[in-house]
Amino acid sequence: MPAKIRRIGILTGGGDCPGLNAVIRAVTKKAILVHGWEVIGFLDGFHGLVNNRRRRLHYDDVSGILTEGGTVLGTSKTVNPYHYAIKRGNRLAFRDLSRRAVANVRRLKLDGLIVVGGDGTLGIAHRLNEDGVPVVGIPKTIDNDLKGTEVTVGFHSAVRIATDAIDNLHSTAEALHRVMILEVMGHRTGWIALFAGVAGGGDVVLIPEIPFDIRSVAQVLLRRNRFGKRFSIVVAAEGAHPRGGGEVVREMVKESLDPVRLGGIGFALAEDIKKLTALDTRVVVLGHLQRGGTPIAYDRLLATRFGTEAIDLVARGRFGRMAVATGSRVTHAPLSAAAGGFRPIPRGFPLIASARSVGTSFGD
């Protein structure tokens, strides 16, 4: 029989995304309504766990947040208890403060800790679980690149935002006979670019999983022009790169869980396209708008299903696991599945073939 649960903690780590509040709401409401547990929310991700910054979450605290973007608990992309960055002036030092985090869990008498995050955050959650903290994970990231689950909270809301952007670019591209390049997020994967690119009818979709040849891209654009389509939409994932070439790195954030920040491929493409085609070309970088705003219905449902599944896992003492989605089912998998690495679009992913068959180019 699992030990009696009285009090649990929850934190949101890594980048924010639409649907985090829906997760916090589902976890807290079910913990209170079904089990009568007390819920403690740690502030700003692992920062709150290490420094014991927290607040009690009552039913009323999570009532009315289902539709709100962001996270009422705050989050952080730079706090790793095992490699905790301490800034002294311009100098950066790192210390292992994981024992402090574990001690806080014990001092607060938490019978379970729910960690909501992407690969970096859930990788840390996995280590904490190995170090004796009873952890259950919930996958979220707009990038949809987490191993172990087919979909993450936030992804479809980001796709919706990127698709709306493509829809809006169509009219101005057509009116001025331009090539419009939309650069979208996704880090090292092309999930957002592929889904939004196909949903928005992009003419060329460039993703890291299919390195492009700029001459092929140019040919597609010129061919469209020859056949009377005097505008084109190019959707580029920030991690897209030419065959044999590397990603465009915008900056390195040393204290971050993953220091590489990508960005700039849109402008690099525009330069090359102008040279090779002489077509009037503009660039839009969608950026952090993709992480903002209210979650779409799909993400609210996924967040509710993941949140309530996580509470079941805690109740059954199934620690070291995370809620995952496979097909239309929500089930669970070991946290270790999410740790280390990311999930690219698999070779032979059916949507790629469907897109090709309706004339979408991947620039290869």
- Catalog residues that contact ligand F6P under the rule CB under 6 A: 15, 77, 141-143, 185-187, 238, 261-262, 291
Task: Specify the residue, 112 or 200, whose C-beta has the smaller distance to ligand F6P.
Answer: 200
φ/ψ (deg, to 5) at 147: -75, 145
Which of the residues are catalytic? 143
Whole-number minimum distance, CB 290 to ligand F6P, in Å? 7
Alpha-carbon distance of 86 to 345, in angstroms, equals 36
Give SS3 for 118: coil
Whole-number minimum distance, CB 7 to ligand F6P, in Å? 31
Alpha-carbon distance of 85 to 95, in angstroms, equals 7
Contact 116, 74 (CB under 8 A): no
Whole-number minimum distance, CB 271 to ligand F6P, in Å? 22
Task: Specify the residue, 133 or 182, whose C-beta has the smaller distance to ligand F6P.
Answer: 182
Contact 174, 162 (CB under 8 A): no
Whole-number minimum distance, CB 248 to ligand F6P, in Å? 12
Looking at the DSSP assignment, which residues form a beta bridge with residue 95?
84
Task: Specify the residue, 15 or 363, whose C-beta has the smaller distance to ligand F6P.
Answer: 15
Task: Specify the residue, 215 or 288, whose C-beta has the smaller distance to ligand F6P.
Answer: 288
Contact 239, 250 (CB under 8 A): no
Whole-number minimum distance, CB 113 to ligand F6P, in Å? 22
Task: Specify the residue, 230 or 261, whose C-beta has the smaller distance to ligand F6P.
Answer: 261
Single out the residue of 313, 251, 340 nearest to residue 114, CA to CA: 313
CB-CB neighbours of 277 under 10 Å: 18
Contact 78, 66 (CB under 8 A): no
Give SS3 for 286: coil
Looking at the DSSP assignment, which residues form a beta bridge with residue 116?
12, 138
Alpha-carbon distance of 65 to 67, in angstroms, equals 6
Task: Specify the residue, 61 or 255, whose C-beta has the smaller distance to ligand F6P.
Answer: 255
Cβ within 8 Å of residue 207, ≥6 positions away: 186, 189, 190, 193, 194, 237, 239, 240, 345, 362
Whole-number minimum distance, CB 261 to ligand F6P, in Å? 5
| Token reading at 281 | 């070309």
Question: Nearest residue to ligand F6P, using CB?
Answer: 185
